[in-house]
Amino acid sequence: MPRLTAADFDQELLILFDAYVHGDIDRRAFLDRASKFAVGGLTAAGLLAALSPDFANAQVIPAGDPRVKTETVNVASPQGYGTIKVYVAQPAVPPPGGRLPGVLVVHENRGLNPHIEDIARRLALEGYLAFAPDALTPLGGYPGDEDKARALFAQLDQAKTRQDFLATAAALKARPDGTGRIGAVGFCYGGGIAHMLATELPDLAAAVPYYGNHPPVEAAAKVKAPLLIHFAAVDERINAAWPAYEAALKAAGARYTAHLYAGTQHGFNNDTTPRFDAAAARLSWDRTLAFFKQHLAA
């Protein structure tokens, strides 16, 4: 069966799914409102299943790939929840000198699921020490179910969670197998965290938010890291706040580059769902890797 894409779904249904993914409506409301799109033998539940992640068939670098060394470590976060678990990926064969630049990989609003672990392994094969924290650590970690994960995520104290990410950035910077130069990449919720890190860490070397919420405009004056910002074209929820934040970045003299990918949906880089856009994902990823190579080289 051919892989489904965003073009196979009504745009109104995709907007409805985005609202469900981000907690604006619950599962029952999604199913009720999606029922009008359930035609040709499909049910609303079937539509939800078709739009939901398929991790097994979308892996790029499988877990256990011998080219990648992985481990899970605990990072102390005294101002956050106390401890946060981090998935660590790096090349199995160390580079000459043995030390790698670091990239903090920040997940969407479901915690550290298999897709984000895959992103970390992809970065490892590009020569980075990838650090992927799980914000759901204090609630038992990613539960293996996207609906449960989304419900758990809403229970987090975001002030503490932000401190957890700041703690993991500090731990990554201090790793003896790292060079001390670190960047951050985040997707959706994680894009917002990547933006936040750029306002809080003056020594952050690079930040790449994918379709993430912007910080308050007054925070733009604190941005020292160069930014590479990726936007989906059909994503009013995120894009509406960009003009004001861009004006603040300009006023602050911040270094940034922003790309808008025509015809794409929020989440276009996530290859586990039909919102994935292969061309935009490839182009944005190539730009991301070039950006990290430029700014994270020792």
Strands (DSSP E) contained in the chain are: 68-77, 82-91, 100-106, 129-133, 178-187, 206-210, 227-234, 256-265
pLDDT of residue 298: 57
Question: Are residues 19 and 128 located together in one domain of the fold?
Answer: no
**Residue 95 CA to chain centroid, in angstroms?**
27
Q: Give domain status of residue 211, yes or no.
A: yes
- 181 shares a domain with 146: yes
Q: Does residue 85 share a domain with residue 15?
A: no
Query: Mean pLDDT over all residues of the chain?
Result: 94
Token pair of 120 as six digits: 């970390």
pLDDT band at 24 (very low <50, low <70, confident <90, very high): confident
Kindly report the pTM of this predicted structure. Answer: 0.93
Query: Is 1 part of any domain?
Result: no
Asked whether residue 56 is domain-assigned, the answer is no
Q: Are 232 and 263 in contact (CB under 8 A)?
A: no
Q: Which of 20-24, 123-127, 173-177, 258-262 has the lowest mean pLDDT?
A: 20-24
User: Do 15 and 161 share a structural domain?
Assistant: no
What is the mean pLDDT of the segment spanning 206-227? 97
2 pLDDT band, cuts 50/70/90, is low
Q: Is residue 11 in a domain?
A: yes
| Cβ-contact 20, 30 below 8 angstroms | yes
* End-to-end Cα separation, the chain, in angstroms: 46
In a domain, 221, yes or no: yes
Q: Is residue 147 over pLDDT 90?
A: no
- Domain with 233 in it: what CATH number? 3.40.50.1820
Are residue 38 and residue 67 in the same domain, yes or no? Answer: no
Share of the chain above pLDDT 90, in %: 75
Is the pLDDT assigned to residue 9 strictly greater than 80? Answer: yes
Same-domain status, 123 and 160: yes
Sole residue written with tokens 């609906």:
147
Both 31 and 71 in one domain: the answer is: no
Domain hosting residue 36, numbered range = 6-51
- Is 180 in the same domain as 110? yes
Is pLDDT above 60 for 1?
A: no
Q: How confident is the model at residue 47 (pLDDT cuts 50, 70, 90)?
A: confident
Residue 201's pLDDT is: 98
The structural domain count of the chain equals: 2
Same-domain check for residues 42 and 66: no
